[in-house]
Structure 1
Amino acid sequence: MAHVPEIEASVRYLESDEALASLAKDPYWPKWDSPWWHMLLLHEMGETKRIPKRGVHALMESLDRLPLKIFPIHDGELPEGVPPYRVPCHCQLGTVYQVLSTWGVDVDRELPWIRPWLLRYQMPDGGLSCDDTAYRVEDEVPSSMVGTIGAFEAILLCTNRPWTAVERAFLDHAAEFLIGRKLVEGSSTRHNAEERTSALEWGQLCFPRFYFYDVLRGLSALTKWAQMTKQPIPHVAHDVAESLRTRFPDGQLRIGRQPWLGKPTWSPAASGTWHREPSSVSPLLARVSVVGEVSPYLTRQWSDAQGLLGI
């Protein structure tokens, strides 16, 4: 992609006292124009190394100050006075793990609680869910594609050593989950019935993904798993690839949706309280997410996936 001046603006912001003040309050909120989202967007654009050291260290410190380092499921696990939105979830940690690792942080040393978190909350079908109530359902397994994909990518891609037996089992089970969903299907459960509606949009690609899911993201992760574990490429990957080739015969992938549009955010007030308000969009996010435009980033990911598929 040609020079994007908005990249420089994001880098300057991440070096600023304003960004550090935001991280001092919370690593994640508010969406979509606080440091977390600038860093994640730069990462997805392949510009991870442009993230300033000052911002990375402030993010790590903010993450380590979080009031709870488990995902509260059962009574008594959420401390009194800690609102649920101040506790991270699997999709948050899976994505930020990738950003920090790619930047050069030894995440397992600096934030040693994140990787065990991701491994701990895998459900019986191989997926995860960022809905705490899903773990208390006894007659079905209402796991989530969104809750799974970031954790799967993090464990798969972010290690400079052989996987442990636990990690390898996690990866293979998560891959089975993706294959079982054919990369395109929402949950068949009652508890997570709304995911079947969400799945109708997964064929419409988005950029950036942040924590969102689309079929190319699933395809990319699954083909990398097959390559790295020396497994045959699953048939469902070829099916999805054929669908993408039919839709984009020139190989140039276009953005089909903006899944963050219209979603509110939690924001801290000067008084120290938190409130809900409309989210804002950074200039860089606005620049690279235009529906209908060719995305060089999606196109690059598609090219890499085709190489692994041998097509």
Structure 2
Amino acid sequence: MPANREIRYVIEESIRYLESYPDVAMDRCEISRRKWDGAWWHMATLYEMGEVKQIPESAIARAKYLLEAQTWPVFVISDSDHPISETDKRKMDCCHCELAVYYMILMAYGCDLDKELPWIREWFLKHQLSDGGLNCEPEAYTDSNKSSIVSTLPPLEAILLFTNRDFTVQEEVFLDEGARYLIEHRLVCSKQSGHIIDKDWLKPCFPRFFEYDILRGMSYLAEWSRRRNKPLPMGLLNEGMQQLNSFIEVDGLRIGRQVFDPQGPWGGHTFPLLEALSRKGEVSPYLTRQLEGVRAQLEYTVNESIY
């Protein structure tokens, strides 16, 4: 079966699954989030493909209801942040990266979460640490004050990509400090030692969900530079291109790892669309598109400097 026909077929399978989503016992939030075959993962995969409009409207409505009525809208750091009522105790707790992916899916679909659920955007802006990033571990806010690159990228993307007006001063600081954080960590390195934090981050990954790879960071910096009219860190992005060189083919960028790798920490049940899109060694049109976006910004910056 040709690849494009296979992809169409497995997209249809995910759509059928999501059409049954309202009948799933959504009061049990874990059914939606269950790695890797819950509704959240199907929707996130379609979003990352650029196919968010294929998500059934009923599934979008249920996801929005989950955030609106069944999610505790506070990141629990101290005892005072915990829900008190029995109803609230049954609500889903979120982390920064999970909430940001939910937000991006629904915003890309056409929902106005900034009007309907303004606490979500406020959540991202509120939880930036002094180093410029965020961390889904509460202890970071009471002890280390150190961010996590994995936790940082989805909230940065959410604000950068889904603001259809001028940025507020607070949003500008959020985005610029996030860029500083990535630059100071050279996309993948410890600021203290200079060593690569996780060598898996050098391997392109698709779909990513909450996971990080070097291209994700490069793409953020390229888009941040364009939208904020800030100097592009060309040396750093060229270094990133060198790190990706072994995965670059004439026809695009090859996948280097799977977020759900059974040999890794995140093994679990999958679904056909996820498996079809994430085969290691195959060129991914979606990663290739992102790589071309970084290249275009590099070329634009070079041309601007010449003229």
Q: How does 1:271-310 map to 2 (within 5 A)?
A: 279-310=268-299
Secondary structure at 2:76's aligned position in 1?
A: coil
Partner in structure 2 of residue 226 of structure 1: 225
Output the TM-score relative to the length of structure 1. Answer: 0.86
Residue 125 (structure 2) pairs with residue 124 (structure 1): no
Alpha-carbon deviation of 1:142?
2.0
Q: How does 1:196-215 map to 2 (within 5 A)?
A: 199-215=198-214
Distance in 2, matches of 1:299 and 1:237, equals 16
Return the letter of the residue paired with 1:25: R
After superposition, the CA RMSD in angstroms is 2.4
| Distance change (3 Å), C-alpha of 1:218 and 1:264 | closer
Output the TM-score relative to the length of structure 2. Answer: 0.87
1:53-79 deviation line (CA, Å, top 9, x unaligned): 110011000111235211011123223
Alpha-carbon deviation of 1:310?
0.8
Return the letter of the residue paired with 2:237: A
8 Å CA contact 2:203–2:244 kept in 1: the answer is no
> Between Structure 1 and Structure 2, which shows a larger proportion of helix residues?
2
Distance in 2, matches of 1:100 and 1:173, equals 25
Residue 140 (structure 2) pairs with residue 134 (structure 1): yes
Partner in structure 1 of residue 45 of structure 2: 41
Residue 59 (structure 2) pairs with residue 60 (structure 1): no
Distance in 2, matches of 1:131 and 1:47, equals 31
Secondary structure at 1:253's aligned position in 2?
A: strand
Partner in structure 2 of residue 160 of structure 1: 164
1:203-251 deviation line (CA, Å, top 9, x unaligned): 0111100000000011011100001111121131222123324642525
Residue 4 (structure 2) pairs with residue 2 (structure 1): yes
Distance in 2, matches of 1:85 and 1:183, equals 35
8 Å CA contact 2:205–2:255 kept in 1: the answer is yes
Partner in structure 2 of residue 86 of structure 1: 92
8 Å CA contact 1:13–1:19 kept in 2: the answer is no
Distance in 1, matches of 2:287 and 2:25, equals 30
1:19-61 deviation line (CA, Å, top 9, x unaligned): 5424332175211111111000001111011011110011000
Unaligned 5+ segments in structure 1 are 190-195, 266-277
Partner in structure 2 of residue 273 of structure 1: none
Distance in 2, matches of 1:247 and 1:294, equals 9
Secondary structure at 1:87's aligned position in 2?
A: coil
| Distance change (3 Å), C-alpha of 1:249 and 1:85 | farther
Partner in structure 2 of residue 76 of structure 1: 80
81-90 or 196-205: bigger deviation: 81-90
The number of aligned residues is 290
1:267-310 deviation line (CA, Å, top 9, x unaligned): xxxxxxxxxxx731011111111111111111111112111111
Partner in structure 1 of residue 215 of structure 2: 216
Distance in 1, matches of 2:184 and 2:225, equals 15
Unaligned 5+ segments in structure 2 are 301-307
Partner in structure 2 of residue 26 of structure 1: 29
1:187-216 deviation line (CA, Å, top 9, x unaligned): 649xxxxxx785211001111000000000
Partner in structure 2 of residue 248 of structure 1: 248
8 Å CA contact 2:15–2:54 kept in 1: the answer is yes
Distance in 2, matches of 1:41 and 1:86, equals 21
The alignment-based identity, stated in percent, is: 39
Partner in structure 2 of residue 236 of structure 1: 236
Secondary structure at 2:27's aligned position in 1?
A: helix
